[in-house]
Copies of this chain bind each other. A is one copy, B any other.
């Protein structure tokens, strides 16, 4: 049980957050184009867990990234990007498949990403990864590495060893059937993982894709019933509804100006994590999540230049 007024007690560790999963290239069109007439694309560092690692580093916490990229120029680019940010790359594996990529063509309607999955799902359970799990407080992953083999086996070992080592297991249930191989019931698999998970942060869309449409309160209940200990259901401009199974707390958004919603969810995770490992109680850590998310929303881009965590305290009167 996570009481809102309690801190999470972590064992003594020299790492704060280990992110496991997709690190990839986002190719984003420079112009809007509903018929893909856009001619030029910008190449960006991407992948939600890796973006969280970049963010928490800026906030002052200690991340490590475990990902597989190609033994190619784009993989090299991603690794250099981590190094420049001062992030340890010992758990980045270079494999034979091409570095994974998502092509996003901006559109006045909903932009539909095109996935090019290669290296990301070749992540192996190496000695380095096993060791990282012994020295981190938190492990974070999304649906990507659950959606395909062989990385799914790696994740099952990660989850098992995280549990054995007393690591807090946090999962972004960003379920989308497009990630799964045709014919497999990905939602069913995701649900089967939840009993090993401490904290999830679904959006309403994520919850709907997993469980079908329902009220926010009922969606919270479904995650709790499947064994999750703390559920953070994000409601966009309406903030977030958080439940530990005993108590449900509403958090209002702190955002005033919204320039770009890309990466706002990752910014939330980042502020929340940085505050948890700093020893703040859960209620306050959630407020830091709301604050870092609000800060990010003011700027364009998935990862923006964040101040250190302490600065959010005054700026957002937490």
Whether the Cβ atoms of A98 and B116 lie closer than 8 Å is yes
Whether the Cβ atoms of B36 and A74 lie closer than 8 Å is yes
> Is A12 positioned at the interface, with any CB of B under 8 Å from its CB?
no
Question: A35 is contacted by which of B43, B70, B80, B116 (Cβ under 8 Å)?
Answer: B80
- Chain B residues with CB below 8 A from A70, complex form: 114
Within 8 A of B (CB), among A206-262: none
Closest-by-CB residue of B relative to A72 is B114
Known: A37-B77, A43-B40. A101 touches B72 (CB 8 A): no
Known: A96-B182, A116-B118. A36 touches B76 (CB 8 A): yes
Closest chain-B Cβ to A41's Cβ sits at a distance in Å of: 5
Closest chain-B Cβ to A123's Cβ sits at a distance in Å of: 17
Instruction: Provide the bound-state CA to CA distance between A182 and B27, in Å.
Output: 27
Copies in the complex: 2
> Is A311 positioned at the interface, with any CB of B under 8 Å from its CB?
no
Known: A27-B27, A114-B70, A115-B98. A76 touches B40 (CB 8 A): no
- Chain B residues with CB below 8 A from A76, complex form: 35-36
Instruction: Provide the bound-state CA to CA distance between A182 and B42, in Å.
Output: 31
- Chain B residues with CB below 8 A from A103, complex form: 74, 101
Instruction: Provide the bound-state CA to CA distance between A39 and B101, in Å.
Output: 14
Whether the Cβ atoms of B80 and A98 lie closer than 8 Å is no
Closest-by-CB residue of B relative to A33 is B73
Q: Kindly list the 10 A-B residue pairs having the minimum CB-CB distance in the complex, ordered from nearest.
A: A36-B73, A36-B77, A116-B116, A41-B41, A98-B114, A72-B114, A40-B40, A40-B42, A73-B105, A98-B116
What is A's interface to B at a CB cutoff of 8 Å? 27, 30, 35-43, 70, 72-74, 76-77, 80, 96, 98-99, 101, 103, 105, 112, 114-116, 118, 182
